[in-house]
Structure 1
Amino acid sequence: MALVTESAAVSHVGRVRSNNQDSGYAGQSLFAVADGMGGHAGGDVASALALNKLLEIDGEYSSAVDAEFALQEAIVSANAILAEAVYEHPELTGMGTTLSALVRVGHSVALAHIGDSRIYRFRDSKLTQITTDHTFVQRLVDNGRITAEEAKVHPRRSVLMRVLGDVDSTPDVDLQVMDTRPGDRWLLCSDGLTGVVENDDIAQTLAEHPSPQEVADLLVKTSLDHGAPDNVTVVVVDISESFTGSTYIAQTVGAASRPIAFGGAQGRKATRMPGLRLHPRAAGSTEPSHFEAQSDDYLDELIDEDRRRSRRRKLTWLAGSIVVAIAIALSLLLAYQWTQTRYFVGQTNGHVAIYQGVQQTIGPVSLSHVYEDTGISVSQLPAYMQTQVENTISADSIDAAKTTVENIAATVPGG
């Protein structure tokens, strides 16, 4: 029996973006996802150009090594096409794209990867991330500077260290050949999925649904349910055995499924902007969701900047804590000073006494103290007056308290 593939590709603009800059493809032996960047000026153009060039190698190969070589050549050509597009259309300067691709050849797959889109393999109920993100935070994780959990919320998590674009004529692409077998399920996706959906949830969806189309639809829906701040593209590939040859209907989704539209002036040499890859998080936004750092010097700069940010955050937190502590202390002081303007009549050591303050306490701290022991014995007072003194009698001022004491003294028999 021959190994065959069943696949599905789905792409969605998400809930925030106004256009889809992702591209996806599921074909005969080739499966790929590209996530474009460069804003409205060219993210969709970059992913579509790269993917359309890659489609030319979809077909049969005598070995996975041949397929790996074809992937490499196609990606280098795609990179050159992007550079030429920027030369002819200066308004596209700064555009780029990630690219993750898989070619199945018999019991093997050839993989190519650059950027932060991902390839996963689901085998024996276990989800394994095959590719490594080419991001700033992943390098920090690899160097032991931060944990994987910290990377998810790091302010520089969108910085890409490698992409296809108009800067590097020889892009550094990860290439490898791996085995595959019946029952394997491969997932290719943009970070619009992995940025909001946890791996455990992805694995559960891959495990519970037999149809690649159903899985792809549900994964995209899950991303949408989590807010989908970015475009999301999913390609699912199942490996199975069959006595007959595989039949397929190629699916192209996202930006590559539409005609490529170039705009702006032509024929002028682009003003280069090395080291920058960006597209807005939302329509009209200028905040980059991805950009590419081209050198280790830039990486060191980012690390130093993060350290400075960390120090500033600590100093700001400390200053804020001091201000809050001072405000609380002043409030407590003013509140205490107010309590000392109040008086009440009660008893102490069997005598009628005037107290300054209020009867409440804060923990072990009493907010009142004996202002004057009048010497009047509580036991000499009539029963009703004893009860009032024991329950305390409030007074608005020291004069009112003394008047209360005089009235109490007048009730003493023979007083």
Structure 2
Amino acid sequence: MANVKASAAVSHVGRIRSNNQDSGYAGRRLFLVADGMGGHAGGDIASAIATRRIAEADADYGTAPEAAAALEGALVAANRQLAETVADHSELTGMGTTVSSLLLEEDRVVIAHIGDSRIYLLRSGELSQITTDHTFVQRLVDAGRITAEEAMVHPRRSVLMRVLGDVESSPEIDSMVLDTAPGDRWMLCSDGLSGVVSFDEIQEFMSADAGAKQVADRLVKASLDGGAPDNVTVVVIDVGDPPAPETPPLVVGSAAAPLAFGAAAEPVRARGIRLPTLRPHPVQETHFEPDSQDYFDELIEEDARRRRRRRWMWGFWIVLLVAAIVTTFVLGYQWTQTRYYVGEYNGRVAIYQGIQQDLGPISLHELHTETTIDVADLRTYDQQRVEQTISASSFSEAYRIVQRLEDSVD
């Protein structure tokens, strides 16, 4: 079983932003980073709501598949809660948040991810980026139209293609289950770190012989030294023995402050510390209206992909429903054919296979055996029983009923 040896969560408003729209959570088994978007429309509220809702999934599940279902379900529930909040507070329209979350279960790690926050793994001195950014520039990188280095300085590097919020009722969430082992060091971060500190620098800090808290502090400081044009949040988890002692979950960033809406929200947002600007260029907002044809092409493709996914999902559920109905009918019909009853046919006692009822034009019974016993020769009581039919669970039971009727005639 993989234990959490140590963990840490650190969040900073950065050198330009006036409020912290990031949230971080370091719990007993669950860890996450959420980066809110929407500016003063409620990015801080979005990340806080999502973090608090997803944190409810911090529990033991017994198996990795159960943990994966619970974690992905928590993100979907957070998305629904964000949409409900926007419905109640129209001034928050457009708010959303990224989420990168990690849950340890036995010797496995369950990951659920949407947006451009990231999860890294340091194993045996080698750093790997585990998650893929859901951004416009990442789509360009995947298509081979720009390099990863060009993506770092692309003017539209902050444009998100997928987030939790009031955009999609069923957001597409990346989920995976990976092995983990003692000695692994996991790191979750907002793009305030990955957009400023290079991969090689992150690997250097992560490889240092230092504790989780010290590594997290150094990573945040590296972002600040690089200008920190955005909020920066880092969560570091060390896997190994002995397990860390039980402590209350650590919540940082906007999720650590009380939620406030409308005019009351301004004091909450004003709590951020504004540091001197070290970079002369303006801060790029997460969403804006670009004039790039590439961007619009990607948006069209993204919409088409979502429509295809929706059609596939609808088709899947329709096929599943039809299959369930057909299976139920076939099994039901097969069961009816195991039943028999004694009734009347052309004035004589007969054995029928099936049950008396019909299903629309489909008959659920058929004549099986016609006897030579005239119903009129039976006692009045037996005549009434035959006319109303006598049920039997098998042909042998129906045959015994016919024999008894025949004996009563004699």
How big is the shift at 1:69?
0.4
For residues 275-294 of structure 1, the aligned pairs below 5 Å read: 288-291=284-287
Deviation track 1:305-339 (CA, whole Å, cap 9, x = no partner) reads xxxxxxxxxxxxxxxxxxxxxxxxxxxxxxxxxxx
Q: Partner of 2:240: helix, strand, or coil?
A: strand
Compared with structure 1, are the counterparts of its residues 210 and 288 closer, same or farther at alpha carbon in structure 2 (3 Å cutoff)?
closer
How big is the shift at 1:286?
9.6
Distance 2:225 2:286 in 1: 23
Is contact 2:37-2:286 (8 Å) kept?
A: yes
**Structure 2 counterpart of 1:41, one-letter code:** A
Distance 2:108 2:160 in 1: 29
How big is the shift at 1:25?
0.3
Distance 1:286 1:167 in 2: 27
Distance 2:116 2:230 in 1: 13
Is contact 1:160-1:292 (8 Å) kept?
A: no
How big is the shift at 1:134?
0.3
Q: Partner of 1:94: helix, strand, or coil?
A: coil
- In structure 1, the gaps of 5 or more residues are 266-281, 305-415
**Structure 2 counterpart of 1:113, one-letter code:** H
What residue is the counterpart of 2:260 in the other structure?
A: 261
Compared with structure 1, are the counterparts of its residues 41 and 300 closer, same or farther at alpha carbon in structure 2 (3 Å cutoff)?
closer
What residue is the counterpart of 2:340 in the other structure?
A: none
Is contact 1:163-1:292 (8 Å) kept?
A: no
Distance 2:257 2:54 in 1: 16
Compared with structure 1, are the counterparts of its residues 207 and 123 closer, same or farther at alpha carbon in structure 2 (3 Å cutoff)?
same
Compared with structure 1, are the counterparts of its residues 246 and 59 closer, same or farther at alpha carbon in structure 2 (3 Å cutoff)?
farther
How big is the shift at 1:206?
1.1
Q: Partner of 1:227: helix, strand, or coil?
A: coil
Is contact 2:134-2:160 (8 Å) kept?
A: yes
What residue is the counterpart of 1:5 in the other structure?
A: 5
What residue is the counterpart of 2:327 in the other structure?
A: none
Compared with structure 1, are the counterparts of its residues 212 and 144 closer, same or farther at alpha carbon in structure 2 (3 Å cutoff)?
same
Deviation track 1:96-129 (CA, whole Å, cap 9, x = no partner) reads 0000000001110000000000000000111100
How big is the shift at 1:65?
1.1
What residue is the counterpart of 2:234 in the other structure?
A: 234
For residues 21-36 of structure 1, the aligned pairs below 5 Å read: 21-36=21-36
Distance 1:86 1:298 in 2: 30
**Structure 1 counterpart of 2:74, one-letter code:** A
Q: Partner of 1:51: helix, strand, or coil?
A: helix
What residue is the counterpart of 2:54 in the other structure?
A: 54
Q: Partner of 1:291: helix, strand, or coil?
A: coil
Q: Partner of 2:156: helix, strand, or coil?
A: coil
Is contact 1:135-1:157 (8 Å) kept?
A: yes
Compared with structure 1, are the counterparts of its residues 149 and 80 closer, same or farther at alpha carbon in structure 2 (3 Å cutoff)?
same
What residue is the counterpart of 1:117 in the other structure?
A: 117
Is contact 1:212-1:238 (8 Å) kept?
A: yes
Distance 2:22 2:235 in 1: 12
* Paired-residue identity, %: 59
Instruction: Select the structure of larger CA radius of gyration.
Output: 1
For residues 194-273 of structure 1, the aligned pairs below 5 Å read: 194-242=194-242, 246-263=245-262
- In structure 2, the gaps of 5 or more residues are 265-276, 301-410
Distance 2:182 2:255 in 1: 30
How big is the shift at 1:241?
2.5
How big is the shift at 1:15?
0.6
The number of equivalent residue pairs is 282
Compared with structure 1, are the counterparts of its residues 83 and 199 closer, same or farther at alpha carbon in structure 2 (3 Å cutoff)?
same
How big is the shift at 1:41?
2.1
Is contact 2:22-2:44 (8 Å) kept?
A: yes
Is contact 1:121-1:127 (8 Å) kept?
A: yes
Q: Partner of 1:101: helix, strand, or coil?
A: strand
For residues 11-410 of structure 1, the aligned pairs below 5 Å read: 11-242=11-242, 246-263=245-262, 288-291=284-287, 299-301=295-297
Compared with structure 1, are the counterparts of its residues 32 and 172 closer, same or farther at alpha carbon in structure 2 (3 Å cutoff)?
same
Distance 2:223 2:296 in 1: 34
Distance 1:303 1:95 in 2: 19
Distance 2:100 2:2 in 1: 25
Q: Partner of 1:98: helix, strand, or coil?
A: strand
How big is the shift at 1:2?
5.9
Compared with structure 1, are the counterparts of its residues 292 and 51 closer, same or farther at alpha carbon in structure 2 (3 Å cutoff)?
farther
Distance 1:180 1:237 in 2: 11
Is contact 2:48-2:254 (8 Å) kept?
A: yes
**Structure 2 counterpart of 1:207, one-letter code:** S
Cα RMSD, aligned residues only: 2.3
Is contact 1:48-1:256 (8 Å) kept?
A: yes
TM-score computed with the length of structure 1 as normaliser: 0.65
How big is the shift at 1:198?
0.7
Distance 2:215 2:120 in 1: 14
How big is the shift at 1:209?
3.3
Is contact 2:230-2:283 (8 Å) kept?
A: no
Q: Partner of 1:128: helix, strand, or coil?
A: strand
Deviation track 1:252-294 (CA, whole Å, cap 9, x = no partner) reads 00000000101159xxxxxxxxxxxxxxxx9xx997521299x
Is contact 2:119-2:130 (8 Å) kept?
A: yes
Compared with structure 1, are the counterparts of its residues 230 and 104 closer, same or farther at alpha carbon in structure 2 (3 Å cutoff)?
same
